[in-house]
Structure formats: C-alpha cells, structure tokens
Amino acid sequence: MTENGSQGVIVCGIDGSHGSRLALREAIRTAARRGDRIRAIAVYEPPEMWSAWGYGPGSEIRLPDPDALREDELKAARMLVDEVIGEVTEDAAQEVTPPAVTVEVLPGRPAEVLVDAARGADELVVGHRGRGAFGSVMLGSVGLGCVLHASCPVTVVPEPAAA
C-alpha cells in the first residue's frame, strides 16, 4: 500500500522464459506482502515491425492477422500467470492470499514498452537470462534498458546460481 492508503502497483514483464517466471514469482510475493496489485505485461513484436526484414524472396510471406497474434499472446500470458500464481500459493508455508493480477499484452520493443507502462508504478520487476556483461552489450538487454530508463525502482531477478 502506498502512504495515502491506496493500493500500489507492481509492473512485471513476462515472456514465458524461466527468468520471467522467477520475476513474476517475486512480484507476487512482494505484492502480497505490501498489499499491492500487479500488472503482468507481455510484449510482442507486431507484424508491422517485421516489415523491416521484408526484402528478397521472404518478403512475399503473408503476415499473421494482428488480432489473432495478440489473442494468442494474451492466452499464453494468462496461462503463465495462472500457473505461477498456483505455484506460489502451493509453495507458501502459510496461506497466502494472491494479489490482484491484470494481464496485458502490448506491441513494441520490450524495454521501451515496460518502461512506459511503469510510469507511475511503485516498482518494475523483470527477469534476467544471465548472458553476462558482454552478452548484454552485444545483444541488448531488457533488464538494462529498464534499469537505465524507468522512473520507478526496478528489480532484476537473476537465475539462481548453480550449486
């Protein structure tokens, strides 16, 4: 809860990866402890973004219906959220009341969309795939982009260290 008694908001980026599952688990535990709600956001590249690659013989490939693509992404995101909520409540030693979670799918580039969605949020939570410093520089990193540009605190949840 925020200082004025209204419910806080945690934005969590999800993409189906193991890292995003860990991030969502962390967001659920934090939201349950603080009395916040969660906006779980999956970001996808819409077919319009694919047009940059549209040259040569592959340019004649029909693009999927944008509405169908969005619905598929939303269905997958909802399934992921339901699974993780079930895991967290099952793992809890004492009964945990899961926080309210809204699931959204938005088109665009993940770091940009998540930073924009987190404006006014209390926290932004994302996973980390552990590519290391060199990999993050070469490939780009959603976590790094969020840390550098978000207007709220950002939690980057790492993969657990191997024993």
Of residues 64 and 28, the one with the higher pLDDT is 28
Model confidence pLDDT, tens digit, residues 107-124:
999 999 999 999 999 999
Band (139; pLDDT cuts 50, 70, 90): very low
Instruction: Output the pLDDT for position 138.
Output: 41
How would residue 66 be classed by pLDDT, with cut points 50, 70 and 90? confident
DSSP string, 68-125: HHHHHHHHHHHHHHHHHHHHHHHH-SS---PPPEEEEEEES-HHHHHHHHTTT-SEEE
CA 28, chain centre distance (Å): 12
Give the residue-averaged pLDDT of 119-131. Answer: 87
Q: Which residues pair with 41 in a beta bridge?
A: 13, 104
Superfamily of domain 9-43+67-157: HUPs (3.40.50.620)
DSSP letter at 12 equals E
Tokens matching residue 46: 């819409």
Q: What are the extents of the domains in the chain? A: 9-43+67-157
Q: Is 33 helix (H, G, I), strand (E, B) or coil?
A: helix
Q: Among 16-20, 57-61, 133-137, where is mean pLDDT lowest?
A: 133-137
Q: What is the pLDDT of residues 69-85, one digit of tens each?
A: 899 999 999 999 999 99
Query: Mean pLDDT throughout 43-55?
Result: 68
Indicate the pTM of the whole model.
0.83
